Structure 1
Amino acid sequence: MVAIIATGDISTRLDARWIVRRQRTFSVAWRSEQWKGVKSHLALLLDDENQVRWLGRARGRRRVSDLERRVEIVEIEEVPAFSLEALRKQLPDRLQARVQPGVLTSAVGDAVVAALVAMFPEMADLIRRLNRRDEVGPPAGDRSLVLNEQRDGTGLVLEMAGVGRDALGSWRLPTEQQPSFLAGIDRRLVSEESLINHDVHTFPGLVRGQSGHVDWGVFGNGRRRVFVLNANTEPLETVLGVDVVYFNQTFRSFVLVQYKRMVRDGRREGGGALWYRPDKNLASEMERMRRVDELFGGSAGDYRLSSQACWVKLCDSWGRLEEPKELVKGMYLAREYFAELLRTCKGPNGGTRLGYDNVPRHINNTMFAALVKDGWIGTRGTGTAELEEVARGVLANRRALVLGVAFESSRRQASSNDEQ
């Protein structure tokens, strides 16, 4: 599918977002009845002079009013400017008048894509990539839930590292029977070269011999680098859940986030309030997290608002794999706070349940990622030996692991050494 969207001159805004977030994205409001569903389209973006100056990939998002929904355009690339009239001349006469701003029919869209490739053969790969079909077909049952938590954990690691989540937009379900989320990332967007003072090939050793499935890569953004690993020891359908372990070498700190799934009343997608009810594994998991905090929470190092490692994320189990860049909405709760809520948050029949309606305060995705990235929360003075111990403990407890290790590039580290 193809959409022609009048955005005006967005050069300045694209440049600003690239400098700050390393993202070239833009959003517009669109009448809901004219943009149905969430399928992605190749987007031709028109400037103030009605010239196509950018190509991107557009997808319908949530409604912003009763009549309009937000359309997000990502992967935006500037191209040699051309007019719609020049494009129309490449099409059969019967189709030319139908090339107008809006969502084109499949037949007209296919003809436009063919015409663009003929006009700009050097951009054929770009055009085909932006015009790719949405082919996400998540596995059924618990495998999908674990894969979705790995997706969210991987995105969280990239956000905490300040790298940005654009690379996740290329995700496609891997062909392996027991895939990790990371295995589905376009490998062109994941670096495996050592751009840092440490040999990244040593990090899979943190779980070597302990894991049945390991995928890893290095993501970068300017001088920021983050090593990301997805690992699990059990088949996905038998894994109890996902833990995210994030290590910031600059601040010598790590945090551990354990995912807990909330379900809607009636267990129906889209209906009812979200609630978390403890399961039979919670007591042992809470004890494990308590021991981690006891072991690493009192080390010397830079000041923290909280120097404990362990957090819980209560999140919607219906988060969508079809939106690989998005973080699942959820509540981040420090371990001690979570333990207190388990004692005080009750349902109408006296059982324990936690949800947005009775948890008085929580930290959201944006705030949590910022606090970790800037070293305001997390352990102090932690090293890779302690990190290895925690990673092995996660896998031994039949949980999948999303590991992130954030670095600054060797160039920046060398510069800092020179200044000292």
Structure 2
Amino acid sequence: MAYIIILAKEDEKELHGKLTIRQSFTWNIPGRSRRNFDEIGPNLTLIFVADDGQKLPIGNKSDMEKVSLAWVGAILSGIHQKSTSLDYRARIKLVRKVSRPVSLADLARVLRKHEERALQVAAMEPSGIYPLAKDMARATLGAVRYLRPEMNELLDFLEVAVNSDSLDLVSPEDQFWREERDAMRTVLRIGQFSTALAGVWRRPTDRDAPYLAGLIRDPTEAALMEHDTRFFDGWAGGKYPQGRCDIQVFTDGARRLEIANVNATPIEGRLGTDLIYYHHGTHSFTLVQYKKLGQAGRPMYVGPNDRLHVQIDRLEAVNMKSRAPDAARDWRLSSDHCFIKLAHWTEEDSAGDAAPTNGLILPVTYIRLLLRDSATATRGEGRNLGYEQVERYLTNSQFIELVQDGFIGSVGVDVETLRNIVDERVEQGQGTLVAIEASDETPSERRRRNHSRSA
């Protein structure tokens, strides 16, 4: 199935920032039109724009000459009802501009008669959004590919986005890939890049490969995932001979986010996944190590000889890499910049759900106290860490905002020290996703961007 959205020229002008910068927007679906959306899964979206002065919905064939395919995108999750009305809303993501628009009339000319009529019916929908049945969607996309062969790579990319491989909770490689995908979603959200890009993915043939090995590159210049890197030069070419390192670079023109995903240990010997985010302008990094809550959110049991105790020792040694602040911009809420996330994985796996998974994000020094606290005690010598035992913890949104504003993170750590830390973590058997964000923003400019709702 695919969706057709038809915008008036005024709509396109109003949505300009969302279409070009955020590359996502929300479209309203009146409750009366909901019956047309029986299949509500992820689907590719064709976005048409009417000429200036053209009234919508279109009423005849001549109007089809004045409505052209100008954008494409994807609906990656279900259509949701608004909480305050009977209407519904669809979130269109990964919006990309069509370099050579093609009119509805031109598309209709290469379709069969009944397909042409179905396309006209879709264009006449008063709500401006209409779902095409599977066969009709296939015919329409085939017509677009025929008339605009240069769009084939982009349409392939979007079709992968709406049909990304899912991950289960059973196989070890899927569990590590879940953690690495969650880490990628988190750093993209910290950097305010599109988190939908983390879900355009195909399962790698090598089960020991990093998550980034299966990521499909965006073919457009707007997203600009480049091959060249600045901070990770040499990493992909034999830096870790026992494994592999995959690198992606994102830029919005003013800022760069380089992400390296390193797996140098086979699945059977890997201890876990680390997320390391480094902000180059402030020489500050934050590390999150992933742990797994039990099924249905049951607490994680920590025995007296559990390897978590050794891992906490190692994270506290990483904490010591930070210096004391000597300027106001270096002040932090805590000297902690290493955390453990007790992730609450669920059976459902939606590649289109761009939010990081829920869980408890805990500073390592706080975990030290929790492991001695009566609230975590069990009948034996072990301890339980979970929602019922831990009264206070950071949520994803709280953690991300604190990192964005520089309230948590190390002080005075250069890139060479960061590389040494990554090497240590990899040698200890950790899979690592490390991201470095670089820009010329001042702290005040960074804060304004992080807290601005406008594009």
TM-score, shorter chain, exceeding 0.5: yes
Match of 2:77 among 34, 37, 60: 60
Higher mean displacement: 333-342 or 241-250: 333-342
1:165 to 195, 214, 218: 195
The C-alpha deviation readout for 1:129-163, integer Å capped at 9, x for no partner, is 43456141547511101011111112222333344
Deviation at 1:358, TM superposition (A): 4.7
Equivalent positions of 1:96-245 (< 5 A) are: 96-99=116-119, 100-101=121-122, 102-132=130-160, 134-138=163-167, 141-187=171-217, 188=219, 189-194=224-229, 200-202=232-234, 208-209=239-240, 211-245=242-276
Counterpart among 341, 353, 364 of residue 384 in structure 2: 353
Residues 32/334 of structure 1: CA separation in 2 closer, same or farther (3 Å cut)? farther
* Letter matched to residue 282 of structure 1: L
Range with bigger deviation, 40-49 or 101-110: 40-49
1:175 is matched by which residue type in structure 2? T
Contact 1:61 1:70 in 2 (8 A): no
Mapped partners of 1:278, 1:300: distance in 2: 38
Match of residue 417 from structure 1: none
CA distance in 2, matches of 1:321, 1:408: 32
Task: State the Cα distance separating 1:235 from its structure 2 match.
Answer: 1.5
Distance 1:352 1:63 in 2: 40
SS of alignment partner, residue 215 of structure 1: strand
Inter-partner Cα distance in structure 2 for 1:96 and 1:349: 71
Quick one: distance in 1 between partners of 2:412 and 2:43? 45
Q: Are the equivalent residues in 1 in contact too, given 2:200–2:216 (CA < 8 A)?
A: yes
**Any residues of structure 2 matched to 1:68-87 within 5 Å, and which?**
70-79=89-98, 84=104, 87=107
Deviation sequence 1:277-328 (CA, Å, 0-9, x none):
3362211111111222234364655222223221112222337362374422
Measured in 1, the distance between the counterparts of 2:47 and 2:24 equals: 13
Q: Given that residues 210 and 395 in structure 1 are in contact (C-alpha distance below 8 angstroms), is that contact kept between their aligned partners in structure 2? A: no
1:276 paired residue number: 300
Tell me how far 1:369 sits from its aligned partner: 2.3
Cα distance in 2, alignment partners of residues 148 and 93 from structure 1:
46
Corresponding letter in the other structure for 2:397: T
1:404 aligns with 2:404: no
TM-score (norm 1): 0.80
| Cα distance in structure 1, aligned partners of 2:337 and 2:89 | 37
Match of 2:408 among 351, 356, 377: 377
Quote how far apart the aligned CAs of 1:392 are: 2.4
Pair 1:14–1:165, CA change in 2 (3 A): farther
The alignment's C-alpha RMSD in Å is 3.5
- Alignment-mate amino acid for residue 43 of structure 2: S
Which residue of 310, 330, 338 corresponds with 1:310?
338
Contact 2:231–2:258 (Cα < 8 Å) also in 1:
no
Which consecutive aligned stretches of 4+ in structure 1 deviate over 6 angstroms post-superposition? 65-69, 80-83, 347-351
In the alignment, the residues of structure 1 paired with residue 374 and residue 278 of structure 2 have an alpha-carbon distance, to the nearest angstrom, of: 32
The answer to whether the 8 Å contact 2:166/2:349 transfers is no
Q: Does the residue aligned with 1:340 lie in a helix, a strand or coil?
A: helix
Shift of 1:210: 6.9
Say if 2:112 is the partner of 1:92: yes
* Deviation of the 1:103 alpha carbon: 2.1
Does structure 2 conserve the Cα–Cα contact (< 8 Å) formed by 1:225 and 1:407? yes
Question: Residue 15 of structure 1 corresponds to which residue in structure 2?
Answer: 16
Identity rate, percent: 24
Count residues in correspondence: 398
Partner of 1:27: 26
